[in-house]
Amino acid sequence: MGPNYIGKMMHDLLIRGAQVYDGLGNAPVLADVAVDAGRITQIGRVSAPARETVDAAGLALMPGIVDLHTHYDAQVTWDRTMSPSPALGVTTAVIGNCGFGVAPCPAGMRETMMKNLSVVEGMDLNALLTGVDWSFETFPEYMAALRRTGPYLNTAVFAGHSVLRTAVMGDAGSERAVPTDAELGEMRRLLREAMDAGAIGFASSFSPNHSGYGGLPMPSTIASDAELQSLTDVLGDVGRGVFMSATGSRLTPQKMEAIAERTRRPVYISTVLSMYNEAKPALGLSYYEACGQALDRGHEVYILSSCQPLSFDFKLTDPYLLLSHSAFDAIKGVAVEALPAIYADPAFRAKFREDLRQPRAGVLFLGNWDRIELSVAALAEHRELEGMTLAAIAAGRGLDPVDVFFDLAIAEGLKTGFVGKLFQNVDAGVAPLLKHRASVVTLSDAGAHLVYMCDAGFGLYFLAHWVRETGEFSLQEGIRRLTSEPAQRFRIPERGRLQVGAPADLLLFDPASVGISRPKSLLDLPGGGSRMVREPRGVHGVWVNGVKVHDGQDYVALEHGPGQVLDRFDA
């Protein structure tokens, strides 16, 4: 019990009789937990009453999940709940990953920024153009706007490489690889301004899968190594902040280690190359081993790891999964009406086959047609094919899967729904990656790729699958991997632990039933846009700084969310 609360007659919140997991990996204790003024004040036998009492008999209480990889930068300006993450047990989120965000953004560059964001992160463009509350231009103004908004989640913000390039270079950020000395100096100034305003660090991308509007590359992906060094050196200069990048094949673990060594800051890799893929089963583990060797040399190089099978729902009107193949350059910026003719062209198909025979490093789809399913048929005559892989359909017809893929879609007016189940889909291959000392379990991409998927429930999936179903992790260790470990890795103080004096970020759940629903589609974005969400299973309450934000069934209506805009981090 904290000294300020000895003899207190009435607690703000009391959760009685829970199995309490501290988030640090220790064995649970059966206890009551009292909360006052947003912090945990007592763990044990609590006799004093409370304004709100929750009977937690038979349930587990843990710190809220810490999600290090989200993209709520735009959504939070119109949706303070940051849905669906709070419903799925998350209480702290980091936004601005991969260097994509909304600040700083001069007024004249808003449309360019939103168009790029809509493509690279699979967001509804109309929702972005009509929904973002542009009450800011600079990074400090964005942080102030977040505080006025009152997010439901504790929120930390990356300063982004592509954002800085666009803010300084305008449209040329996606066209010109080398900035002028003045432009680079201005990018450094803006990055330093963001760090001084409380940015958690600097984020970038060199992924070949990250294309912007009209097929143009996202600005950071064409930047030189010298530019990246100049910008990451700012972190070394200020002596704080983390660096993360969607690395692709260009920014190798060895290059990331060089950044960590030079700046003395921790760095984080996010890439499909580090995921388990049956087509190249040893590749992912080789990334982890390279990072482990860096750790042995005293350089913090980690991988942001996905614990879920990575699936992409798509149609050939917007084949996000395939755009990194050079054959698909032919459709970028092309009207939808012209697509069937391109897809029917034998030359296009021949080029695509060649891409699959010699795939570029970092592409998402490597030609494993047994991992592409026809999920929704538009014509009744094709309904019997739903749930079948393209490999099976092609084999049954004695045809090439490439031809079957395009011919079926063309016959259905490109309305056919497909799902690609390409990465992290074999437990025996994924478990060693999640258990590796270079792994940080996160990578939900929450807020992005809304048309195709929703992995915001990664934490509940981890508790259901990797703890309860497979037994690969004990419950206390699984909770640690979702809470205190990611907070510590990103230098986020106090979060991810259930201790006296810590902020009361809490998740109450039933270990026997916790999990997530199948994806479901909602039409609730600004302008009526659609998105995929998941719902929680076995969740009985989520609190952020002692305030209930979700009761397990629905959000609690709050005029101002309890989440803190995080701007102070450990060195």
DSSP letters, 354-398, are HHHHSPPTT-S--S-GGGEEEEE-SSGGGGGGTT-BHHHHHHHHT
For residues 198 and 284, membership in a common domain is answered with: yes
When pLDDT is cut at 50, 70 and 90, the band that residue 1 belongs to is very low
Quick check: 129 pLDDT over 60?
Answer: yes
For residues 355 and 234, membership in a common domain is answered with: no
Residue linked to tokens 């056919």: 416
Residue 471 sits in a domain whose CATH number is 3.20.20.140
For residues 147 and 245, membership in a common domain is answered with: yes
Measured in whole angstroms, the distance separating CA 438 from the mean position of its chain's CA atoms is: 18
Query: Does residue 550 form part of some domain?
Result: no
Quick check: 532 pLDDT over 90?
Answer: no
pLDDT of residue 522: 86
Contact between 268 and 440 under an 8 Å Cβ cutoff? The reply is yes
For residues 455 and 412, membership in a common domain is answered with: no
pLDDT of residue 4: 46
For residues 252 and 155, membership in a common domain is answered with: yes
Query: Does residue 554 form part of some domain?
Result: no
Q: Indicate the angle between helix axes 427-435 and 283-296, nearest 10 degrees.
A: 10
For residues 186 and 283, membership in a common domain is answered with: yes
Point out the domain boundary residue: 423, 439, 457. 423
Query: Does residue 560 form part of some domain?
Result: no
* Higher-scoring residue by pLDDT: 324, 457: 457
Residue linked to tokens 């990611």: 486
DSSP 494-548: STT---TTSB--EEEE-TTT-EEPPPEEE--SGGG--EEE--EESEEEEEETTEE
User: How many Cα atoms within 13 Å fall on the side-chain side of residue 417?
Assistant: 13
* Residue range 346-375, pLDDT digits in tens: 999 999 999 999 988 767 888 989 999 998
Neighbours of 425 (CB within 10 A): 17
Query: Does residue 126 form part of some domain?
Result: yes
For residues 100 and 200, membership in a common domain is answered with: yes
Structural domain of 129? 65-309+427-489+527-537
Query: Does residue 497 form part of some domain?
Result: no
- Of the chain, the percentage scoring pLDDT greater than 90 comes to 84
pLDDT (average), residues 13-18: 98
Amino acid at 220: S
Quick check: 7 pLDDT over 60?
Answer: no
* Residue range 81-128, pLDDT digits in tens: 999 999 999 999 999 999 999 999 999 999 999 999 988 887 888 999
Point out the domain boundary residue: 392, 407, 423. 423
For residues 302 and 368, membership in a common domain is answered with: no
Point out the domain boundary residue: 403, 423, 443. 423
pLDDT of residue 362: 67
pLDDT (average), residues 491-516: 98
For residues 196 and 53, membership in a common domain is answered with: no
Q: What is the mean pLDDT of the chain?
A: 94
Quick check: 141 pLDDT over 70?
Answer: yes
* Residue range 192-243, pLDDT digits in tens: 999 999 999 999 999 988 888 888 899 999 999 999 999 999 999 999 999 9
Single pTM value for the model: 0.90
**Residues with Cβ < 8 Å from 167, sequence gap 6 or more?**
104, 105, 106, 109, 190
User: How many distinct structural domains can be found in the chain?
Assistant: 3
Quick check: 3 pLDDT over 50?
Answer: no
pLDDT (average), residues 437-444: 95
Query: Does residue 220 form part of some domain?
Result: yes
When pLDDT is cut at 50, 70 and 90, the band that residue 556 belongs to is very high
Query: Does residue 52 form part of some domain?
Result: yes
For residues 418 and 432, membership in a common domain is answered with: no
Burial letters 117-153, b for 16+ CB under 10 A, else e: bbbbbbbbbebbeebbeeebbbbbebbebbeebbbbb
When pLDDT is cut at 50, 70 and 90, the band that residue 8 belongs to is low
Quick check: 538 pLDDT over 50?
Answer: yes
Query: Does residue 388 form part of some domain?
Result: yes
* Residue range 283-303, pLDDT digits in tens: 999 999 999 999 999 999 999
pLDDT of residue 120: 81
For residues 99 and 131, membership in a common domain is answered with: yes
Token reading at 240: 């704080």
pLDDT (average), residues 507-525: 92
Quick check: 156 pLDDT over 50?
Answer: yes
Residue 15 sits in a domain whose CATH number is 2.30.40.10
Pairing, β 531-533 against β 520-522:
antiparallel
For residues 288 and 407, membership in a common domain is answered with: no
pLDDT of residue 462: 98
pLDDT (average), residues 38-62: 97
Quick check: 308 pLDDT over 50?
Answer: yes
Token reading at 153: 């989640």
